[in-house]
Amino acid sequence: MKNIQLIESIQAGEILDRAVFLENDSTQNNYNKSYYHFVKYFESKAQLTEHDLVIAANFTYGWMPTILEYKSDDFDLAVSVINKAKHSERISDEDLLILKKLMNNSIVGVSKMLHFINPNVYAIWDSRVCNFLTGKAHAYKVQKSGLFWAYLDLCQKVAAAPEFEFIHRNHQEKVGYDITPMRTVEQIMFICSSSPIRY
């Protein structure tokens, strides 16, 4: 609860003040190449299948330090959830748990897959972003769904700030293709993770 309140206390301007670091960062070039294709994979698909789920889980784990292990066999339920994620504002906590149980019990892995499926609604949540927001990134903390939801709310708050549009447009030009506001906000936090905004 304390960490959720910590994230909720962060103002959009505090994040946007760090956006200057986007201009000089070159560490994301390899990710940017893959990212474009991951998002494009889902963009044209109206309905997702088990085939898409398995492919998505595996390319998501190309961005993870661990090997993908399916921890449940609820593929039909998971397919239903990813279709909901593609077409809705947000999935429920129960839906998130279905995906988490399937994919290594990892909210981090699930957040990446959800972002690739619907980058307008979901942002990538990982230990670096958690560290930026809370000053700590213990595995038990990163895996808490409440923190993930609070983080998504913060991303929306930052993206709605009037001064964000200029930052977002500049970052898109640097990357070389259209990205969503959620991606730009996440990138600010990811790149600045060594200097936490809260402790």
pLDDT digits (tens, 9 = 90+) for 21-45: 998 877 667 788 899 999 999 999 9
| pLDDT > 90: percent of the chain | 87
Pure H helices in 88-144: 93-102, 107-117, 127-134, 139-142
Rounded Cα distance, 76 and 149, in Å: 24
- Condensed to tens digits (0 to 9), the pLDDT of residues 66-94 reads 999 999 999 999 999 999 999 988 999 99
* Residues making up the chain, counted from first to last: 199
User: pLDDT at residue 149 above 80?
Assistant: yes
pLDDT of the residue at 17: 97
The 10s digit of each residue's pLDDT in 92-104 is: 999 999 999 999 9
State the average pLDDT over residues 129-155. 93
Span 127-132, mean pLDDT? Answer: 95
pLDDT of residue 29: 72
- Longest Cα–Cα distance in the chain: 45
pLDDT band with cut points at 50, 70 and 90 for residue 108 = very high
Instruction: Please name every residue paired with 70 in a beta bridge, in sequence order, or none if there are none.
Output: 103
